[in-house]
């Protein structure tokens, strides 16, 4: 097996390098990159032409790889230039916008997404474009295609105030959403446009199928799971049910993914053999299967894992039609390049990263695990195959899961062994229900069977949740740790094929680099550190001294602590519940803390230090930035880090 045999796998790293380059401040603009790309391809063609005519050994590969890098940067610049965003929305006195989705129920309101069409500035109207995420309390639900008149200026989305807090602004920006607004009932529905396009057809179809599932499945908890598992609509999931599936290690089955596409693909392919179709008719049937797969992908919202699976199964099916078996690595790389070309920001989506890692783990690691034991009986063989798939996927994805979510499900093997077969049965019943649910008796019968199967699945997930020690949380892994794990897995996978001497040295090198980064991080930990977190109305102080952490809460609520304060505590391996600082009020109205080296004046929102600190930093754009050193500090609307 040679790396040269996988062309798309060779192209992918250069396109990714170009995307990272295109997102830096020193990347050329769209016109310059277009010119550079054209010149590189022209030079490539000239070299090829000279090579063919004179038979002189020129290697044109560097030019091609440089062109791929330029292509990656061009994708980024093109998206930035043509992004659906107009700064004029920020200055709008009023705006007209089109409703693009059905309402999503929130605790105290309904969520919807508007597409801005025009804005009013200084009394005049002008065309504009952009997306506004709204929350309303209208008595009448909003329907896609309605035109709203909003007599308010939408609000920009704030950047995260605190260290390592989830960047909701960036998350929405990658979906083209730069504004949000609470409307209440303060808007008018003034018109409705024709919604005969394919996009509206899918929105209405998804909504119709979802409402039908709710009516045909009698158990409310079962209908929630059906909407998530079949249509990818997870926003209505009960938190208790969500937690049960998380602890069982099977939350991935509730996010429509490659697993679901694979089940639908298998369902239709299994029917092919009993039909005994001739070649021409079999090819027509396979084209129909590809059409069904992509219709399901569009219906469920084109998530990265679904697009990846739909592309892969389409290419496999085309290979089957031509009686060929294409390389899984080429298919994976091609599907990734296709998705990146459509949206270069997709590489930052967790679903995209986990999806490709899981498939790579199954392709590379699962055969090694499977060969460790050869069961004598069919039942044991089936269980071992399912176990090996779960282990392989978990081994490769757990570093990224710890990096993002800081949780590891202890009983993931038990959950996968018991719940995945049930999920397969649920899809076997659920897909026919989605198609034939409108038929009175058939739809009711399928709904009852599906409700019972999902009830059983929920019961198993809840039973696993009640087992003590169901999850290990507050775990974390940095980038060097992830590289170490993935590198070691690759070394193990290559052990029988490569040079054991080189692989051993590579493993030792990875261990040395990882140990060096850990030592460096440990040496960087200050002996005394004060973090000031900003809440909506007040602050919270974390003071770390020689490994002990003391806190003082000025009034941040518990729910706010979980997303504003806890991410930094997890990152620094600090306890979730720290010791309380002892504050003593003096005659000047200040609070003096016995454990710390500063005094707080709450009314003035000011800190005064006993001695000038070594450094004062504020949190901005994902980094700590230095401030002039002083013996006092006004604690306003940003987070601070003070080192003593």
Alpha carbons 304 and 302: distance in angstroms, whole number? 6
Same domain, 466 and 443: yes
Structural domain that includes position 226:
202-358+411-473
143/243 same-domain check: no
Given a contact cutoff of 8 angstroms between Cβ atoms, the answer to whether 406 and 473 are in contact is yes
Q: For residue range 585-595, what is the model confidence (pLDDT) as tens digits?
A: 777 778 888 77
- Distance separating alpha carbons of residues 185 and 139, to the nearest angstrom: 8
Last residue of a domain, one of 195, 213, 231: 195
For residues 301 and 449, membership in a common domain is answered with yes
Q: Is residue 280 a part of any domain in this protein?
A: yes
CB 399 within 8 A of CB 484: no
Residue ending a domain, choose from 38, 59, 81: 81
Could you tell me the two tokens for 644?
């003593």
In a domain? residue 312: yes
Judgement on whether residues 180 and 218 belong to the same structural domain of the protein:
no
Q: Does 211 fall in a domain?
A: yes
Q: Residue 260: name the closest of 235, 221, 225, 236 by CA.
A: 225
Do 418 and 302 lie in one domain? The reply is: yes
Q: Are 67 and 44 contacting, i.e. CB atoms less than 8 angstroms apart?
A: yes
**Residue whose tokens read 């609509």:** 233
* Among candidate residues 47, 81, 115, the one where a domain is terminated: 81
Helix (H) or strand (E) holding 583: strand 583-585
Tokens of 535: 């809440």
Task: With respect to residue 377, please indicate whether it lies within any of the assigned structural domains.
Answer: no
**Does 594 reside within a domain?**
yes
- Tell me the three state secondary structure of residue 121: strand
Half-sphere exposure of 619 (CA within 13 A, CB side): 22
Kindly state whether residues 305 and 437 are assigned to the same domain.
yes
Q: Please check whether residues 45 and 186 belong to one and the same domain.
A: no
**Is 529 found in the same domain as 600?**
yes
Task: Return the structure tokens found at 552.
Answer: 């003082």
310, with CB counted inside 10 A (0-12, 13-18, 19+), is: buried
> Which two structure tokens, joined as six digits, stand for 138?
């209208």
User: Do 539 and 446 belong together in one domain?
Assistant: no
Crossing angle between the packed helical segments 198-216 and 279-299, to the nearest 10 degrees: 80
β-pairing verdict for 615-620 and 188-192 = unpaired
Number of domains within the chain = 5
Whole-number CA gyration radius for the chain: 28
Tokens of 186: 């303060």
What CATH number has the domain bearing residue 95?
A: 2.40.50.730
Q: ∠ CA(411), CA(414), CA(419), 5° rounding?
A: 120
Instruction: Answer yes or no: is 186 within a domain.
Output: yes
Identify whether the C-beta of residue 133 lies closer than 8 Å to the C-beta of residue 113.
Answer: yes
pLDDT digits (tens, 9 = 90+) for 249-271: 888 877 777 778 888 888 777 77
Q: Alpha carbon 465 to chain centroid distance? A: 24
**pLDDT for residue 459:** 93
Chunked mean pLDDT (size 10), the chain, 644 residues = 70 92 84 89 84 71 89 88 70 89 88 90 86 91 90 87 90 86 89 73 86 89 87 79 84 77 80 72 83 86 82 81 77 89 88 88 91 88 90 92 90 89 88 88 91 93 87 89 94 87 93 93 88 89 88 86 91 87 78 82 84 88 89 87 90
Residue 529 sits in the same domain as residue 601: yes
Domain for residue 385, yes or no? Answer: no
- Alpha-carbon span 614 to 599, nearest angstrom: 17
Query: What pLDDT does residue 252 have?
Result: 80
Within 8 A by CB and 6+ apart from 422, the residues are 453, 456, 457, 460
Decide if 406 is inside a domain: no
H runs (alpha helix) in 345-407: 350-364, 366-370, 378-405
Of the candidates 561, 571, 559, 574, which has an alpha carbon nearest to the alpha carbon of residue 534? 561
Residues 593-626: b if buried by 16+ CB within 10 A, e if exposed: beebebbbbbeeeebbbeeebeebbbbeeeebee
As a whole number of angstroms, the distance between CA 73 and CA 437 comes to 47
Query: Strand 606-609 to strand 615-620: parallel, antiparallel, or no bridges (unpaired)?
Result: unpaired
514 and 589 housed in the same domain: no
**Residues 252 and 168 occupy one common structural domain:** no
The gap from C-alpha 300 to its chain's centroid, in whole angstroms, comes to 16
């Amino acid at each position: 097996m040679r790396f040269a045999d996988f062309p798309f796998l060779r192209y992918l790293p250069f396109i990714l390098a170009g995307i990272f380059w295109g997102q830096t401040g020193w990347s050329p603009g769209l016109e310059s990159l277009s010119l550079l790309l054209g010149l590189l391809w022209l030079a490539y063609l000239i070299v090829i032409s000279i090579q063919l005519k004179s038979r002189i050994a020129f290697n044109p590969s560097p030019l091609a790889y440089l062109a791929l890098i330029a292509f990656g940067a061009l994708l980024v610049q093109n998206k930035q230039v043509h992004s659906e965003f107009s700064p004029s929305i920020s200055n709008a006195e009023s705006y007209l916008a089109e409703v693009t989705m059905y309402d999503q129920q929130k605790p105290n309101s309904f969520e919807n997404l508007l597409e801005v069409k025009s804005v009013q500035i200084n009394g005049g109207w002008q065309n504009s474009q952009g997306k506004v995420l709204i929350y309303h309390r209208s008595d009448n639900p909003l329907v896609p295609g309605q035109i709203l008149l909003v007599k308010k200026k939408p609000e920009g989305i704030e950047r995260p105030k605190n260290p390592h807090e989830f960047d909701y602004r960036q998350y929405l920006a990658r979906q083209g959403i730069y504004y949000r607004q609470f409307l209440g009932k303060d808007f008018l529905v003034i018109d409705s446009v024709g919604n005969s396009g394919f996009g509206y057809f899918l929105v209405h179809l998804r909504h119709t199928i979802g409402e039908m599932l709710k009516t045909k499945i009698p158990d409310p908890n079962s209908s929630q799971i059906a909407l998530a598992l079949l249509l990818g609509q997870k926003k209505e999931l009960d938190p208790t049910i969500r937690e049960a599936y998380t602890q069982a290690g099977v939350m991935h089955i509730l996010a429509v993914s490659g697993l679901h596409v694979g089940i639908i693909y298998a369902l239709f392919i299994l029917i092919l053999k009993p039909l005994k179709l001739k070649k021409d008719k079999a090819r027509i049937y396979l084209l129909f299967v590809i059409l069904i797969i992509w219709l399901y992908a569009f219906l469920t919202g084109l998530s990265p894992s679904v697009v990846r699976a739909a592309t892969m199964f389409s290419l496999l099916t085309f290979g089957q039609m031509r009686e060929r078996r294409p390389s899984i690595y080429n298919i994976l790389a091609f599907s990734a390049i296709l998705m990146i070309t459509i949206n270069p920001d997709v590489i930052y989506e967790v679903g995209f990263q986990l999806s490709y890692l899981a498939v790579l783990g199954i392709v590379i690691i699962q055969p090694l695990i499977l060969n460790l034991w050869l069961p004598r009986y069919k039942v044991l063989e089936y269980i071992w195959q399912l176990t090996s798939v779960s282990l392989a996927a978990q081994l490769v994805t757990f570093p990224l899961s710890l990096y993002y979510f800081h949780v590891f499900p202890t009983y993931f093997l038990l959950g996968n062994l018991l719940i995945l077969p049930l999920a397969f049965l649920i899809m076997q019943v659920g897909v026919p229900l989605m198609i034939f649910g409108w038929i009175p008796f058939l739809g009711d019968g399928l709904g009852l069977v599906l409700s019972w199967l999902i009830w059983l699945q929920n019961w198993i997930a809840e039973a696993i949740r009640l087992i003590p020690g169901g999850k290990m949380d507050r775990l974390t892994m940095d980038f060097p740790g992830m590289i170490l794990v993935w590198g070691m897995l690759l070394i193990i996978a290559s052990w029988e094929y490569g040079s054991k001497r080189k692989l051993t040295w590579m493993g030792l090198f990875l261990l040395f680099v990882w140990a060096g980064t850990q030592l460096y991080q440990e040496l960087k930990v200050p002996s005394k550190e004060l973090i000031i977190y900003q809440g909506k109305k007040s602050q919270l102080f974390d003071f770390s001294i020689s490994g002990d952490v003391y806190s003082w809460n000025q009034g941040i609520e518990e729910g706010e602590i979980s997303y504003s304060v806890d991410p930094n505590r997890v990152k620094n391996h600090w306890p979730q519940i720290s010791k309380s600082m002892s504050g003593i009020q003096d005659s000047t109205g200040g609070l003096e803390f016995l454990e710390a080296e500063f005094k707080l004046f709450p009314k003035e929102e000011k800190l005064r230090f006993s001695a000038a600190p070594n450094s004062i930093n504020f949190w901005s754009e994902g980094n700590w930035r230095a401030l002039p050193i002083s013996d006092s500090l006004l604690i306003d609307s940003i987070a601070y880090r003070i080192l003593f």
